[in-house]
Each structure stands twice: as structure tokens, then as C-alpha cells.
Amino acid sequence: MEFVKYDKSGRVVEVTLNRPERLNALGSQVRAELAQAWKMLADDQEARVAILTGTGRAFCAGMDIKEMGQQRSPAEMGPDPAKRPFHPRMQPKPVVAAVNGLALGAGFDLLAMGADICIAAESATFGMPEVVHGVFSLGTLFAVHHIPLNIAMELVLLADNITAQRAYQIGLVNKVTTDNDLMSEARRVAGRIAEYPPLAVQLIRRNLLKATEASEAAYTLEHYLRSEVGASEDFAEGVKAFAERKKAT
């Protein structure tokens, strides 16, 4: 794989987004490779837990907006919201997010919040800036299971980034560490989970996820609304402004 690294040490796997020149943005190839990594994890009988992190100064800056602007139709911009094979929850084993640097857009709500436990470095920054660029916020169905609705509205509609400490205060992050201690803490947590009987771990996790998952109607609406925004002039102008490093109006 070119943009995703898959490293295994005993029962723990480390999945690393490795596209630092694009801040680990989720382009189509990255999504495909991430889906491949999760399948490898699911199929590995020895592996019990994974750590998800990023290379460079970003955990993940979200969907690749430049690539999205080159797609011919909204349907090409990514999979149906209910079928995201690159999402950590689309496989049966626990995932610990080790958030270094920027976690924005889909990198925030689909990956950092999609993981089962989120540990953040002090320098980590979280945000959902899609509305600034006229892009639909994909993945908010996951975010609202972590935080109150009014906080989610604030993040989505104001598009202000928040610090790791603020993310911890509102319940998005389990623990904040120093930058130097991030991976050692993630490995400690993953190592503890890996010690427990795997069937119990996986089925308890499955039960918790089922109890908090969004309805099929919510997924269907998200897919419809995302397609509507993707076909709009707002989206076209926003992507153009993003490419030109300007602010959409």
C-alpha cells in the first residue's frame, strides 16, 4: 500500500495514514487502502486491536476536496454513508485513535470519532470546516453520539477549530497527552485491550455500537442531502475557492 502503513506487533496492529504532503487527506486511493487495512485486521486471527494515527503534522485533514471537485457527479465523491469500508467501525475489532496534529472534517468525525477510544496529543486540533467551502459535513451522525446536539451544531455551523483540551472537556477525547507520549499511551491502552478474551471484547463492542448507531432513515437522508449539496453552485464555487486558497461566499 502506498498511502497507508500496516504494522503488526504481537496482538496489536498500527494503521498509519501516510500521505503527509496532503495532510493525510482521504482521497479515493487512501480510502481504498484504509479499507484494505481494516480487512487485513479483521482477517488476522492473532490481531486483537488496532491503533490509528497519521504521519507528519496531521492525523487526517478530511476528505480530499480538490479531488472531490474533479469528480463528475456527487455519487463519485465517495461511498454511500451507510457503506464506508474505510471507517474503523466497519470491522469487528476495537480501534484506538492516536490523534496527532490536525483532525478535520472526515478526519475528525469519521476517523477520530469513529474509533472506539480517542487519545490526543496536546498539539492536536479538531474541527469541521466543510461549511466554509460549501461542502456537506459527512459523518455528523457519528459526532452527535459523542456530544450534545448544540455542541455539534456549534462545530458544524461556526466551523471553528478546537484544541485537544476543549475536545476532552466536551467528551470527544478520552485523554490528552504530551506530543512525545502520544504513541506510548495509545500502545499502553491497546495493549491492555489485547490482553482480554477477544470474543467478549468484540461482542461487547458490537453491542455498544448497535445501541448507539444512527437509523437507516438518517443515513438515507444524509446521502440525499450530500448529493444535493454536491450538485449545487455553492459546492462548485466552494471547491474552486479552496483550490485558489480563497474564502467561499
Looking at residue 136, its pLDDT comes to 83
Rg (CA), the chain: 17
State pLDDT tens for residues 176-198. 999 999 999 999 999 999 999 99
The total number of structural domains that make up the chain: 1
Looking at residue 37, its pLDDT comes to 98
Looking at residue 81, its pLDDT comes to 47
List the alpha helices (DSSP H) in 27-179. 28-43, 65-69, 106, 140-143, 149-158, 164-169
Q: Does residue 243 sit within a domain?
A: no
Looking at residue 76, its pLDDT comes to 44
Q: Does residue 198 sit within a domain?
A: no
Which domain CATH number covers 61? 3.90.226.10
Look up the domain containing 158 and give its range: 4-179
Using DSSP's 3-state secondary structure scheme, residue 231 falls into coil
**Residue ranges of the chain with per-residue pLDDT less than 50:** 72-79, 81
Looking at residue 154, its pLDDT comes to 93
Looking at residue 244, its pLDDT comes to 56
